[in-house]
């Protein structure tokens, strides 16, 4: 089997032993799926790849999400990028200007750094994943990638205090309001990928809030997930890309996405190019990650779900009981 283009060219300073291990399992998973083997060294990858497609990149990203083998290299990248004073000042400046960000020229002016030097520093921060950019008219706007810092801080304290979590509770309390986090993260808060124009999504968010949650709300049409994040969400929900696709009110038919020959990678690319294709809402809490359709699905993910909720259309939902 000829593997699809590997992700390795986009990753820096990886632990090559771990990378080789990840690639081996991803390729083995693709091979097992292609030959319809029932056993596979990476549990779960065949269901992600799908019965008629082989996508090495999606399988590889799935393995990395599950294994955590990238933690060391990603943390080293972040620390290395921030170990230079101008880059550290640049990142802290961008944090203070979240979520609007700053043009590259304004960053250079505020820090008193020549434009070409600042361009080099921003390139280092971008490659480390610490900043993201977008073009606005003639300017390039840079923003701090707070999720990347959350990931790095979480990596540092994940196994803290030798089984005595109370010792680091002050640190967790200080950071918890600032960072949207992932399932299993010590800073875990609830997250909803939300479309405010969708009634199901609005009901889901309202149920969360009435249950005492203060979720981090990501309007994914404005802030789409990265490819890695989307694959991570798919693996957490144990869903294939095709299962997450939304058809109604989207360019699904126009793009010919009902074609069974399309690979998972192609379907993921379509969702990234047209975020409206991502079905909603997706909710992640400390109890799991799910596509919450119908909206009351979210109640099983909440630590203290509301006993009764009235939807926008008047339907009453009783958790653990019957709806009326």
DSSP output for 156-224: HHTTGGGG-GGGGHHHHHHHTTT----TT-TT---EEEE-TT-HHHHHHHHHHHHTT--PEEEETTTSP
The number of folded domains in the chain is: 2
Catalytic residue, from 30, 32, 40, 198: name it. Answer: 198
Residue 7 belongs to some domain of the structure: no
Q: What is the pLDDT of residue 187?
A: 46
CATH of the domain at 243: 3.40.30.10
Q: What is the pLDDT of residue 104?
A: 93
CATH of the domain at 105: 1.10.10.10
Q: What is the pLDDT of residue 147?
A: 75
Would you say 271 and 303 are in contact if contact means Cβ atoms under 8 Å apart?
Answer: no
Q: What is the pLDDT of residue 273?
A: 92
Q: What is the pLDDT of residue 215?
A: 85
Q: Are residues 311 and 228 in the same domain?
A: yes
Q: Are residues 117 and 233 in the same domain?
A: no
Q: Of the candidates 296, 292, 269, 268, which has an alpha carbon nearest to the alpha carbon of residue 280?
A: 292
Q: Are residues 204 and 292 in the same domain?
A: yes
Within 10 A of 235 (CB to CB), how many other CB atoms are there?
21
Q: What is the pLDDT of residue 154?
A: 73
Residue 107 lies in domain: 95-146
The rounded distance, in Å, linking the Cα atoms of 211 and 286 is 15
Q: Are residues 211 and 294 in the same domain?
A: yes
Would you say 277 and 271 are in contact if contact means Cβ atoms under 8 Å apart?
Answer: yes
Catalytic annotation on 198?
yes
DSSP state string for 243-277? HHB--TTSSTTTTTTT-TT--HHHHHHHHHH-GGG
Residue-by-residue pLDDT tens, the chain, 324 positions: 444 343 333 333 333 334 444 444 454 444 444 444 433 444 444 444 444 444 555 555 555 555 444 467 788 889 999 999 999 999 999 988 887 889 999 999 999 999 999 999 999 999 998 998 888 778 889 998 877 777 787 777 766 666 565 666 666 656 555 544 444 444 456 889 999 999 999 999 999 999 998 888 888 898 888 887 888 899 889 999 999 999 999 999 999 999 999 999 899 999 999 999 999 999 998 889 999 999 999 999 998 999 999 999 999 998 875 444
């Amino acid at each position: 089997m000829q593997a699809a283009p590997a992700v390795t060219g986009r990753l820096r300073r990886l632990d090559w032993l771990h990378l080789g291990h990840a690639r081996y399992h991803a390729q083995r998973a693709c091979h097992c799926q292609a030959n319809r083997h029932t056993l596979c060294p990476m549990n779960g990858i065949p269901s992600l790849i799908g019965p008629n497609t082989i996508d090495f990149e999606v399988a590889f990203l799935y393995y990395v999400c599950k294994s955590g083998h990238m933690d060391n290299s990603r943390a080293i990248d972040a620390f290395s990028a921030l170990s230079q004073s101008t880059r550290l000042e640049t990142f802290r400046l961008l944090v203070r200007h979240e979520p609007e960000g700053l043009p590259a020229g304004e960053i250079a002016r505020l820090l008193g750094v020549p434009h070409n030097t600042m361009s080099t520093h921003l390139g280092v921060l971008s490659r480390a994943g610490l900043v993201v950019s977008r073009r606005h008219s003639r300017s390039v706007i840079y923003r701090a990638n707070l999720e990347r810092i959350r990931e790095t801080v979480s990596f540092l304290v994940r196994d803290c205090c030798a089984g005595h979590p109370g010792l680091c509770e002050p640190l967790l309390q200080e950071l918890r309001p600032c960072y949207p986090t992932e399932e299993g993260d010590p800073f875990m808060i609830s997250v909803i990928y939300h479309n405010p124009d969708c009634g199901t999504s609005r009901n889901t968010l309202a149920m969360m809030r009435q249950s005492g949650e203060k979720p981090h709300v990501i309007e994914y049409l404005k802030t789409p997930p990265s490819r890695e994040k989307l694959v991570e969400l798919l693996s957490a929900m144990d869903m294939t890309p095709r299962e997450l696709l939304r058809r109604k009110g989207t360019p699904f038919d126009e793009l010919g996405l009902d074609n069974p020959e399309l690979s998972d990678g192609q379907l993921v690319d379509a969702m990234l190019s047209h975020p409206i294709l991502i079905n909603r809402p997706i909710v992640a809490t400390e109890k799991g990650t799910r596509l919450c359709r119908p909206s009351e699905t979210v109640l099983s993910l909440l630590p203290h779900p509301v006993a009764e909720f009235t939807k926008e259309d008047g339907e009453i939902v009783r958790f653990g009981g019957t709806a009326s």
